[in-house]
Amino acid sequence: MAETKTHRVTVAQRPLLLSWAGATDLGRRREINQDAFLAEYPLFIVADGMGGHAGGEIASSSTVARLQAVVAAGEVNGPAIEKALELAVADIADHPETTDEGTGTTLTGVFLVGDGEDAHWVALNIGDSRVYLLRDDRLVQVTTDHSVVQELIAAGKLSPEEAEGHPYSNVITRAVGASELTAPDYVTVDVRAGDRFVICSDGLTKELTDYGIQHFLRANSDPAAGVDAMLAAALENGGRDNVTLIIVQIEDDSDSSSPPEDTSE
């Protein structure tokens, strides 16, 4: 069962409550969970590892460990994240169980930077894990997949519907791994009360459509309940891969008569 945590921030003199929850599951067909996630204010990320034997698990866990150190240091920003990823690439390359050249991990998520008037979200992405945003009851994909099929879609050679069953649907074009690091793509998102992010590996999006994700967000106002519901649905729909997701939401905290305890520490 997922657990909801909270943290208070003030943006443009407006008190806001951030709440979040995350979970990961082996799924129904895999022997090893190669996914990992980090959900600690102000950084929320998912990593989907790949590689023979334990390689994918090592890649994702090494990346998360390096990013956790960034959070602990209290300086979460693009340069600090990229330095951590460079260290993770070295960790992966040096690990005795990651001899497979295909070893690596996706990385996607959001982090909050600045304060007051200057506060904003930054979404980052390497690979085909995704960040979605539900705003004004409309779900949009914030990140762009780094994958062969996404390149074909962008070139007009493949429709999104055709991409779902394409034989190269699992082939990604960028990863954090035992090779030279390519910096993440970044997208800036303003901070707005009512927004809800879903950060997930493709183990979720293989089993739930965008409409399904939106449905479970609408049906569950608490992040932990939403995470548990989506995870259960993904497993029920087949659970063909490891499934990992985080829900982060932002609420107006000015009218709260008895606000919940801050649990982010």
- How does pLDDT run along the chain (265 residues), one tens digit per residue? 899 999 999 998 899 999 999 999 999 989 899 999 999 999 999 999 987 667 899 999 999 999 999 999 999 999 999 999 999 999 988 887 765 667 899 999 999 998 777 899 999 999 999 999 999 999 999 999 998 888 888 888 787 777 776 776 778 889 898 577 788 999 999 999 999 999 999 999 999 999 999 999 999 999 999 999 999 999 999 999 999 999 999 999 986 544 555 677 5
- pTM > 0.85: yes or no: yes
Q: At 120, give phi and psi (nearest 5°).
A: -160, 160
Residue 258: count of CB within 10 angstroms of its CB: 4
Nearest to 183 by CA among 60, 88, 86: 86
**Which residue is it, tokens 């879903």?**
198
% helix, strand, coil for the chain, step of 5: 30, 30, 40
249 CB contacts (<8 Å, ≥6 apart)?
18, 19, 20, 195, 196, 197, 223
**Which residue is it, tokens 């866990």?**
61
pLDDT at 151: 84
* Rounded Cα distance, 264 and 42, in Å: 9
pLDDT at 225: 98
Element (H, E) at 21: strand 14-25
pLDDT at 148: 86
pLDDT at 158: 82
* Rounded Cα distance, 110 and 129, in Å: 12
